[in-house]
Amino acid sequence: MMFSIISLFQEVDINEKIKSAPDDSYEIGVFIGSLLPFVTLVIIAYAIYRYNKNKSNNE
């Protein structure tokens, strides 16, 4: 709950960050940083799925 409130206040304009970037490697970091939360959620969801699938097979 608190994290979602904080993220609303930290609204980030990615295009503006890329335009003011010192070099091209900064763009790669912004890209990875924007994908990292989604990849993390997918990994957690898959781990929960595997755990529940293995648990139901053992019963």
pTM flag (> 0.75): no
* Per-residue model confidence as pLDDT tens digits over 2-59: 555 555 555 566 777 777 777 777 778 878 888 888 889 999 999 999 999 998 887 6
Q: Calculate the CA 42 to chain-centre distance.
A: 9
Structure confidence at residue 35 (pLDDT): 83
Residue 39 CA to residue 5 CA, distance in Å, equals: 22
Structure confidence at residue 51 (pLDDT): 94
Asked whether 34 and 26 are in contact (CB, 8 A), the reply is: no
Structure confidence at residue 50 (pLDDT): 95
